[in-house]
């Protein structure tokens, strides 16, 4: 894949280890859900290395008062793309328990792979927040591009997108359509099959998270 300044591929040994278990068809729903959360927490740590709104706060240690930099209250909004994105929300809430959550419901048409939006509910004031859009799978990139477009139309200016597994074609599409959005992907897989599934991938993330197949 071409290099994009707005794309970070993690390729971290700890994350790779967890993704190997995630891919395994023998992994249970419970373990799958826990792994998605753990990987998301690890990704969030890196993804928020810069660009998180912070403020100064006075802290009294047992020895003296000092000024410390802390993350601003109510600075982050998590936006999962339903359904599979829901599996990543707790992984961020572990770090930011008070982060508000907006929901965008989308499914891919099985023939055309075009995303269809069926739900959207976003917190008031989202325009000025750092918006973390999450979806474990970035395949053709259609869902991610449409979700980001929808958020921009609502006035959001600071958007980051996080996916656990990306296909080169989808990552390139989002990077090119939204050069102002930083994209974080844990691992880049080989390609898509004729049904739009990522290879080697992990199958249907929503079905594996919620046991629907």
Q: Does 143 bind ligand PRP (CB under 6 A)?
A: yes
Q: Does 19 bind ligand URA (CB under 6 A)?
A: no
Site string for ligand URA, 94-123 (x = CB under 6 A): ------------------------------
In angstroms, give the least distance from the CB of 100 to ligand PRP. 21
**How many contiguous H segments (helices) and E segments (strands) does the chain have?**
6, 13
Q: By C-alpha distance, which of 168, 173, 207 is closest to 191?
A: 168
The residues in 108-137 that bind ligand PRP, with binding defined as CB under 6 A, are 108, 113, 115, 135, 137
Residue position matching structure tokens 């990522």: 198
Instruction: By CB under 6 A, name the one of 139, 145, 163, 183 that touches ligand URA.
Output: 139
Q: Which of residues 23 and 71 has its CB atom nearest to ligand PRP in the complex?
A: 23
In angstroms, give the least distance from the CB of 9 to ligand PRP. 16
Helical spans, DSSP H, in 50-122: 86-93
Task: Report the sign of the C-alpha dihedral through residues 50, 156, 109, 134, in that order.
Answer: positive
Residue 2 burial (CB count, 10 A): 9
Which of ligand URA, ligand PRP, none does residue 201 bind (CB under 5 to 8 Å by kind)? Answer: ligand URA
What CA–CA distances, in Å, run from 60 to 56, 63, 65, 66, 178? 13, 8, 4, 6, 43
What's the rounded Cα separation, in Å, for the pair 49 and 119?
31
Q: Which residues are catalytic?
A: 108, 112, 204, 207
Q: Which residues bind ligand URA (CB under 6 A)?
A: 84, 137, 139, 196-198, 201, 204-206
Q: Which residues bind ligand PRP (CB under 6 A)?
A: 81-84, 106-108, 113, 115, 135, 137-144, 170, 196, 204-206
């Amino acid at each position: 894949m071409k290099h994009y300044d707005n794309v970070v591929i993690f390729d971290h040994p700890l994350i790779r280890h967890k993704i190997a278990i995630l891919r395994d068809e023998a992994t249970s729903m419970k373990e799958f859900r826990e792994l998605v959360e753990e990987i998301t927490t690890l990704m969030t740590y890196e993804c928020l290395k810069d660009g998180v709104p912070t403020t100064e706060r006075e802290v009294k240690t047992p020895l003296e008062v000092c000024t410390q930099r802390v993350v601003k209250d109510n600075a982050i909004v998590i936006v999962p793309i339903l359904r599979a994105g829901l599996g990543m929300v707790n992984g961020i809430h572990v770090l930011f328990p008070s982060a508000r959550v907006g929901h965008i419901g989308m499914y891919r048409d099985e023939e055309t792979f075009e995303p269809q939006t069926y739900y959207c509910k976003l917190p008031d004031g989202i325009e000025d927040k750092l918006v973390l859009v999450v979806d474990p799978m970035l395949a053709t990139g259609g869902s991610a591009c449409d979700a980001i477009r929808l958020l921009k139309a609502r006035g959001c200016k600071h958007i980051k997108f996080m996916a656990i597994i990306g296909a080169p074609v989808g990552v390139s599409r989002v990077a090119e359509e939204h050069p102002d959005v930083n994209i974080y992907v844990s691992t880049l897989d080989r390609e898509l099959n004729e049904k739009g599934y990522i290879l080697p991938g992990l199958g249907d993330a929503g079905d594996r998270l919620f046991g629907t197949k």
